[in-house]
Amino acid sequence: MLDYTKTILHKVSFDRHLFSKELRKSFKWLKKEEVIVLHTWCMLTFGDIYGDLIQETFQTFN
């Protein structure tokens, strides 16, 4: 499921709103360990454009 989530996030990365929506939705499907891996991956992959959004979204998960 983690790989699927990464694929979806890549596909919607052109739109901030869609990216945020899909990122929040992924929390329903992923295990806690996978969410931690996803956070790291998101920051490395999209941190330059969505760093603030990623940090904010993952803070709500914890």
For 11-35, the pLDDT digits (tens) are: 999 999 999 999 999 999 999 999 9
In a domain, 1, yes or no: no
Task: Write out the residue range of the structural domain in which residue 35 sits.
Answer: 29-57
pTM: 0.92
In a domain, 39, yes or no: yes
In a domain, 4, yes or no: no
Q: Quickly count: other Cβ atoms within 10 Å of residue 9's Cβ.
A: 20
Q: The tokens of 26 are what?
A: 């992924």
In a domain, 40, yes or no: yes
Residue type, 27: F
In a domain, 38, yes or no: yes
pLDDT number for residue 60:
86
Dist. CA 62–CA 46, nearest whole Å:
20
Dist. CA 15–CA 3, nearest whole Å:
20
Structural domain count of the chain? 1
